[in-house]
Structure 1
């Protein structure tokens, strides 16, 4: 099973995660796009990387980082890091060590949602559109904590346009500004 870590980041906060992976001494190949970054740990693999459509993520030393996205002008999505090899430790012990190091690093930040434990501060009010359905634990990078304290809402990256439209109507009733789809497509 893929090992997943969820976190909230805005603006340059995401760069902290990217910098953490970039600082690793392991030789990697990076594929970066607007919505995700993929790290391929080529020195851990015994065979060359096949064409993209033929990659078996369960047997290849890959880490996917899904970047936070801004939706409706003011809503930020959750982000995640996924170590895809299954089973991880048996296939790639070095990558499993990186996984454990990353988990330890991420836990230095504030935990803002957990399905397992009651938290001292409850930020659930600001976690909308299914974010609590997908994330077992959710950490907030530094700028997010300031944003949460000032009333910033966050949504699941999996939320579809209909769900976001319903949420936008609800948030407007609470006095929170959210752009509608049409206004965004015209700009």
Structure 2
């Protein structure tokens, strides 16, 4: 049976090859009139379940976005904790409690193309809507080749990054067009750490 070191080295090589294969070529220009605000009323939280898979382990996380304001919110999914490729982009990190090392991740940099008409429609699949004082959540599985979690390890998982676009509908009406500009907010997000234990083979059989 290969050692953890050999398995980890093989996993890192696999991650590199998959990263080269998956790189996207879309492009999102940075508009000059985009405003940055730290007053984004969204709380990010994580909770965990675990399972095992192939050489490495896997972790299933529930990722929750809670709207802490009395207004409906729309947000751009890209690079958020609910990005469609979140296991591969490094927004959720796993740090070994024992060594302090980060689990190898593809850390893909995905550039996106802005809609040709200059705005997102309210029903665009890239937009997530969170009602006032409400929340949305998704369960996401983190495993190789996107991220390599070693069986038997304990990790601290954390979400951290930047919102690419948030619209707070303070007027009460639902905007049909979500424009890039003064009405859009950007800013940082960060969750609390949670502990994730990946079972080893013996524990998985119990």
Shared fold, TM over 0.5: no
Structure with the larger RCO, 1 or 2 (CA within 8 Å, 6+ apart): 2
| Larger of the two Rg values belongs to structure | 2
Task: Give the helix-richer structure, 1 or 2.
Answer: 1
Task: Give the strand-richer structure, 1 or 2.
Answer: 2
TM-score (norm. length: structure 2): 0.22
